Amino acid sequence: MIQQSLVRELRAICGSYGVLDDPDALLVYESDALTAYRHRPAAVVLPRTTRETRESVAAIARHGLPIVPRGAGTGLSGGAVALNDAIVVGTARMNRILGIDAPNRRAVLQPGVINAELSVAARRHGLYYAPDPSSQTTCTIGGNVAENSGGPHCLKYGVTSRYVTGLEVVLPDGEVIRIGGQGRDAPGYDLVGLFVGSEGCFGIATEIEVSLLPVPESVRTLLAIFDRIEDAGRAVSEIMSAGMLPAAMEIIDGATIRAVEDSVFAAGYPTDAEAALVIEFDGLEAGLKGDAERARRRCLATGAREVRTAQDEAERAALWKGRKKAFGAMGRIAPDLLVQDATVPRTALPSVLRGISRISARHDLVVANVFHAGDGNLHPNILFDRRDAEELERVERASKEIMRLCVDAGGTITGEHGVGLDKKHHMTLIYGPDELNAMWGIRRVFDPGETMNPGKVLPDETQPVAAAVPA
Amino acid sequence: MSASPGSVAEIQALIRSAAAAGTPLIPVGRRSWPGAGGWAPKEGRALDTTPLKRIRHYEPADLTITADAGIGLDELDAGLAENGQWLPIDSPGAGSGTLGAAAATGGFGPLRQRYGATRDNVLGLEVVTGDGRLLRLGGRVVKNVAGYDLVRVFVGSRGSLGVITRVSMRLFPRPEEDRTLIYRVRAERALAMATALRRGHLPVAAVVLGSGGMEGGGGRAATLAARILGGGRGAREITGRVVAALGADPDEALRDEASRRFHDRHRQWEDDARLMVRLRALPDRLDEVVAIAQPVAAAVAGEIAADARNGVVRVKTPAAPAGRDEVVAALAGARGRVEALGGSLALDDAAGELGRRVGWVGRGGGAGGIVRRIKSLFDPHGVLAPRCPE
Ligand SMILES: Cc1cc2nc3c(=O)[nH]c(=O)nc-3n(C[C@H](O)[C@H](O)[C@H](O)COP(=O)(O)OP(=O)(O)OC[C@H]3O[C@@H](n4cnc5c(N)ncnc54)[C@H](O)[C@@H]3O)c2cc1C
């Protein structure tokens, strides 16, 4: 139970609408988009400025309570879940674009700005923000920074980390620091790079500087249909090794195609196909035709049964539709969905995909694959019903086997969704005690009292006995 | 006096015994930038990383490579070229250095706009920390968010936190065509042309400017070089648009080998520097930064070169100006003016006395406490002599 004195203090800082402590109002905050983990926070604070954030954090720290930063709650690893009666500090009211500096292709934002809104605002200047998570119409830039999010077009352009050039951060004790800014070039440790991907454990980003790119002049989109998913995987790796660099290469498998086509999102993909590969090139019109033609031929040579090409913006949207609506469609065919997120070397895609289908068959589960194929970033999604305890157990076993398979193929346990609560017990698959110890140490550099998003990322049992860093 | 350990285990042992004896170590590659911009002191025993130089994993179709830190970027490039791939690291001096040093210094060059900086392309590292622990960080896949991103803190740490022993990098297809358009014009015109290219949003891979001795000519004569990388039709198209945007035919158009050689020379421009000053501000302040750099160049009889896309202006002189009062005053004045623009002035190379009098990097970042704690986390006994300025 939260002390009323703290609630009063927080209301004095953020205004009466800025603090929620009514149990019903708190319900919305009990999970992120991975609804398997639910914990109701003790309260939610919604500051409007850095000053309000700093004062709120300091007040909560004085009361010795843990804090969980939160953006839009679209995270898929349980990162924004408030364990142990933590207080959520949400950025929903810090949603202003503070400035777009077009000559330097730069923008400065509050953390609660929605990813897609930045690109809309930048478009007036012929610019856009490159990292485009599939959740971009709802997720916040602050959440993207915390997760180092990716998206379909990160194949060509790289993930969030490359685009963040400066941060203002409220540390767990209420101190405010500025790192980077006006570019990320000043000599010294790359603290901005270190903060990006810290999953809310190092502090709250209250101001974010990002770099923007010119909107590409032209885009060419292809959709290749395959009878075997391994062939689609092979097409991806051949296109890359032939020296082409598409902006995006995305695969959805047969199970996903059928889910989409059975839903209100039907996109006209053939339902007897086992894979659909969306390929997109962008850049100057002059170079695109040749690239698209070469990619088309590669797909046919690796066994595509047909390759469709978009002629205009409407057709382009149609080709993308199946990919973009995949998660929405899956939500309709099973009560629960476990979204996995592992990366493997591109050349391992065909064998790993075969392995995943063997694992799902062995555990008698439906696994639907939707993924950023160009980056080797897989999302094998397990469809299930959590009310069935026995099935739940099979899901957990299969999930662990899939992780192990990806790691053994030279990959990693998360490509973009983060570790959060969900994957922290998989961390020992890829890191030994020294690496985990170093991560504990770096967490304590920022958060010596472990009050910022505690219980996330690092497995509890690896916690070193003595603090690694002298305070 | 230097140590040349032949294995990672030997590096660990060496660090541990240095810690016990209290003797500082300075990790080095091919020693093309031994002072590392004032981070590495002169005293301390060099720990040579060049004996470790094997390629550990290279699957061309993955467009990634893992190799030991001591391999030269030139050696690496030869192997990549056979597969039509490359590692677009063009930070100053990088070509002659090692892969480990490229990661440890974490710089960038004119190609950053197109390919990202070195830090954006390092996928994983193996590093021995100051307490002799071997950490394997990141991995060899292109997307990876498993755990805190410690790779980023070691990239650019210039030997102050650990000895990098192995590096995994993202690779890129080698561009089919490499073209450079060269304009020899007056300095003001060159700056105006750079502005036109920036505003035009043209996909030019790099825009560099030189004055003085760089490409011949003296006084106010300057060279602007626009580099275009890509496949046949695309490259031709961009070339046409660049010429249209600049309103003039180039004085010289270099293709492929000649174009690459031009940029290699530009990268090596500072190899003979005894004093190298790097000024930086947002790209649209380039004219002002060049104006700020001019009195510095005059005071040290130096030359100026600029990386227009990244807002970097460098002044170099192959002679060694002592800490004469007017040089100190010129540098201090320039630093004040560029910091007032929100930029910075760093001495990348300088005589120790000048470095001490002027200060190597200027205004600190205001996160000194965090910087100190990171240092003591990874180098608790202070064995690794290089220090990050706060
Ligand atoms: C349908 C769907 C599709 C998705 N597609 C993608 C995709 O393509 N690529 C991808 O990478 N992700 C994807 N995601 C995952 C998710 O959208 C991203 O992780 C996103 O960045 C989370 O943003 P958020 O604002 O919702 O953050 P939240 O979920 O609210 O929080 C995520 C984490 O960030 C921390 N945090 C939030 N704001 C701050 C701040 N200001 N300072 C410090 N820490 C903070 C939180 O503590 C938490 O740990 C998808 C999710 C869904 C539901």
Q: Do A243 and B198 touch (CB under 8 A)?
A: no
Closest approach of chain B CAs to the CA of A171, in angstroms? 11
**Spatial CB neighbours of A51, under 8 Å, sequence gap ≥ 6:** none
| Count of alpha carbons within 13 angstroms of residue B247, beta-carbon side | 7
Number of Cβ within 10 Å of residue B51's Cβ equals 13
Closest residue to B233, CB basis, from A245, A290, A413:
A290
- From A289-298, B203-212, B220-229, the region with the lowest mean pLDDT: B203-212
| β-sheet bridge partners, residue A244 | none
Q: Do A434 and B135 touch (CB under 8 A)?
A: yes
Q: Are strands B45-48 and B25-28 parallel, antiparallel or unpaired?
A: parallel
B145 CA closest ligand 1 atom index: 11
Mean pLDDT value across residues A375-388: 93
Residues A174 and A224 in one domain: no
- Residue A121 domain-assigned (yes or no): yes
- From A396-405, A457-466, B167-176, the region with the lowest mean pLDDT: A457-466
Find where tokens 């510095």 sit.
B296
Q: Quick one: pLDDT at residue A182?
A: 92
**Spatial CB neighbours of A127, under 8 Å, sequence gap ≥ 6:** A100, A102, A105, A212, A213, A214, A215
For residue range A31-48, what is the model confidence (pLDDT) as tens digits?
999 988 999 999 999 999
Closest residue to A240, CB basis, from B63, B147, B233:
B63
Q: Which helix (H) or strand (E) holds B223?
A: strand B221-230
Q: Quick one: pLDDT at residue A468?
A: 41
**Spatial CB neighbours of B321, under 8 Å, sequence gap ≥ 6:** B274, B275, B299, B300, B327, B351, B354
Residues A22 and A102 in one domain: no
Nearest CA residue ID for atom 13, ligand 1:
A133
CA separation for the pair A198, B149 (Å, rounded): 7
Closest residue to A457, CB basis, from B147, B283, B365:
B147
Q: Quick one: pLDDT at residue A353?
A: 93
The CATH number of the domain holding residue A43 is: 3.30.43.10
- Axis-axis angle for helices A349-362, A229-241 (nearest 10): 160
C-alpha dihedral sign at B245, B250, B256, B260? negative
Q: Is the pTM of this model over 0.90?
A: yes
- Token reading at A318: 């149609």
Q: Do B150 and A194 touch (CB under 8 A)?
A: yes
Residues A288 and A381 in one domain: no
Q: Into how many domains does chain A fold?
A: 5
- Axis-axis angle for helices B187-199, B286-300 (nearest 10): 150
Mutation target vs A (from B137, B142, B145, B237; most A CBs, 10 A cutoff): B145
Q: Are A367 and A255 in contact (CB under 8 A)?
A: yes
In 3D, which of B153, B150, B127 has the Cα closest to residue B69? B127
CA of A139 to the centre of ligand 1 (A): 6
Q: B366 by DSSP, 3-state: which? A: coil
When the pLDDT of each residue in chain B is averaged and rounded to a whole number, the result is 90
Q: Quick one: pLDDT at residue A93?
A: 98
CA separation for the pair A271, B8 (Å, rounded): 54
Mean pLDDT value across residues B83-99: 88
Residue numbers in B near A468 (CB within 8 A): 377
Q: Quick one: pLDDT at residue B215?
A: 43
- Residue A469 domain-assigned (yes or no): no
Q: Do A194 and B134 touch (CB under 8 A)?
A: no
Residues with CB under 6 A from ligand 1: A 32-33, 68-76, 79-80, 91, 111, 133-135, 139-140, 142-144, 146-147, 149-151, 199-200, 204-205, 327, 416-417, 453
CA of A73 to the centre of ligand 1 (A): 6
When the pLDDT of each residue in chain A is averaged and rounded to a whole number, the result is 93
- Residue A309 domain-assigned (yes or no): yes
Residue numbers in A near B311 (CB within 8 A): 104, 183
For residue range A319-339, what is the model confidence (pLDDT) as tens digits?
898 888 888 888 788 888 888
Number of Cβ within 10 Å of residue B188's Cβ equals 12
Q: Are B139 and A406 in contact (CB under 8 A)?
A: no
Mean pLDDT value across residues B326-332: 94
B240, burial (CB in 10 Å: exposed 0-12, middle 13-18, buried 19+): exposed
Residues A249 and A284 in one domain: yes
Instruction: Report DSSP state, residue B216.
Output: B
Phi, psi values for residue A340, rounded to 5°: -95, 165
Residue numbers in A near B344 (CB within 8 A): 185-187
Mean pLDDT value across residues A239-255: 93
Q: Quick one: pLDDT at residue B323?
A: 67
Closest approach of chain A CAs to the CA of B218, in angstroms? 30
Confidence of residue A127 (pLDDT cuts 50, 70, 90): very high
Query: Position B176: which residue type?
Result: E
Closest approach of chain B CAs to the CA of A185, in angstroms? 8
Closest approach of chain A CAs to the CA of B352, in angstroms? 18
CA separation for the pair A245, B101 (Å, rounded): 28
B55, burial (CB in 10 Å: exposed 0-12, middle 13-18, buried 19+): middle
C-alpha dihedral sign at A123, A128, A133, A136? negative
Q: What is the 3-state secondary structure (H, E, C) of chain A?
A: CCCHHHHHHHHHHHCHHHEECCHHHHHHHCCCCCCCCCCCCCEEECCCCHHHHHHHHHHHHHCCCCEEEECCCCCCCCCCCCCCCCEEEECCCCCCEEEEEHHHCEEEECCCCEHHHHHHHHHCCCEECCCCCCCCCCCEHHHHHHHCCCCCCHHHHCCHHHHEEEEEEECCCCCEEEEECCCCCCCCCCHHHHHCCCCCCCCEEEEEEEECEECCCEEEEEEEEECCHHHHHHHHHHHHHCCCCCCEEEEEEHHHHHHHHCCCCCCCCCCCCCEEEEEEEEECHHHHHHHHHHHHHHHHHCCEEEEEECCCHHHHHHHHHHHHCHHHHHHHHCCEEEECCEECCHHHHHHHHHHHHHHHHHCCCEEEEEEEHHHCEECEEEEECCCCHHHHHHHHHHHHHHHHHHHHCCCECCCCCCCCCCCHHHHHHHCCHHHHHHHHHHHHHHCCCCCECCCCCCCHHHCCCCCCCCC
For residue range A188-217, what is the model confidence (pLDDT) as tens digits?
899 999 999 999 999 999 999 999 999 999
Size of interface A-B (CB pairs under 8 A): 235
For residue B310, the chain A residue with the least C-alpha distance is A183
Q: Quick one: pLDDT at residue A153?
A: 94
**Using alpha carbons only, how large is chain A's radius of gyration in Å?**
23
Higher-scoring residue by pLDDT: A430, A286: A430
Residues A202 and A176 in one domain: yes
- Got the DSSP string for B94-117? GGGSBHHHHHHH----TTHHHH--
The CATH number of the domain holding residue A367 is: 3.30.70.2740
- Residue A470 domain-assigned (yes or no): no
Q: Do A287 and B176 touch (CB under 8 A)?
A: no
In 3D, which of A415, A240, A380, A408 has the Cα closest to residue B138? A415
Q: Are strands A106-109 and A97-101 parallel, antiparallel or unpaired?
A: antiparallel
Residues A310 and A228 in one domain: yes
Closest residue to B141, CB basis, from A284, A289, A376:
A376
Residues A132 and A177 in one domain: yes
Pocket probe mutation, ligand 1, options A57, A147, A330, A453, max atoms within 8 Å of Cβ: A147
Question: Of A214, A246, A272, which marks where a domain is finished?
Answer: A214
Closest approach of chain B CAs to the CA of A466, in angstroms? 13
Closest approach of chain A CAs to the CA of B217, in angstroms? 31
Residues A65 and A127 in one domain: no
| β-sheet bridge partners, residue B226 | B181, B207
Q: Quick one: pLDDT at residue A467?
A: 40
A456 CA closest ligand 1 atom index: 49
CA dihedral A327, A332, A336, A342 (to 10 degrees): -20
The CATH number of the domain holding residue A271 is: 3.30.70.2190
| β-sheet bridge partners, residue A219 | A282
Residues A102 and A185 in one domain: yes
Q: Do A103 and B176 touch (CB under 8 A)?
A: no
Domains (range + CATH), chain B: 2-173 (3.30.465.10), 177-267 (3.30.70.3450), 275-358 (3.30.70)
Q: Do B140 and A442 touch (CB under 8 A)?
A: no
Question: Of A214, A235, A261, which marks where a domain is finished?
Answer: A214
Domain span including residue A410:
334-423
**Spatial CB neighbours of B205, under 8 Å, sequence gap ≥ 6:** B110, B111, B113, B114, B227, B228, B229
Q: Do B367 and A179 touch (CB under 8 A)?
A: yes
Residues A112 and A86 in one domain: no
The CATH number of the domain holding residue A108 is: 3.30.465.10
**Using alpha carbons only, how large is chain B's radius of gyration in Å?**
21
CA separation for the pair B277, A105 (Å, rounded): 26
Residues A113 and A138 in one domain: yes
For residue B141, the chain A residue with the least C-alpha distance is A345
Q: Quick one: pLDDT at residue A469?
A: 40
- Token reading at A310: 């978009």
Query: Position A178: which residue type?
Result: R
- Token reading at B140: 């060899």
- Token reading at A411: 């990959």
For residue range A40-94, what is the model confidence (pLDDT) as tens digits?
999 999 999 999 999 999 999 999 999 999 999 999 999 999 998 999 999 999 9
CA of B183 to the centre of ligand 1 (A): 47
Percent of chain B clearing pLDDT 90 (strictly above): 69
**Spatial CB neighbours of A466, under 8 Å, sequence gap ≥ 6:** none
CA separation for the pair A199, B372 (Å, rounded): 23
In 3D, which of A399, A434, A429, A437 has the Cα closest to residue A77? A399
Residues A139 and A185 in one domain: yes
Q: B157 by DSSP, 3-state: which? A: coil
Find where tokens 């960080």 sit.
B137
- Residue A69 domain-assigned (yes or no): yes
A208 CA closest ligand 1 atom index: 41
Question: Of A280, A302, A331, which marks where a domain is finished?
Answer: A331
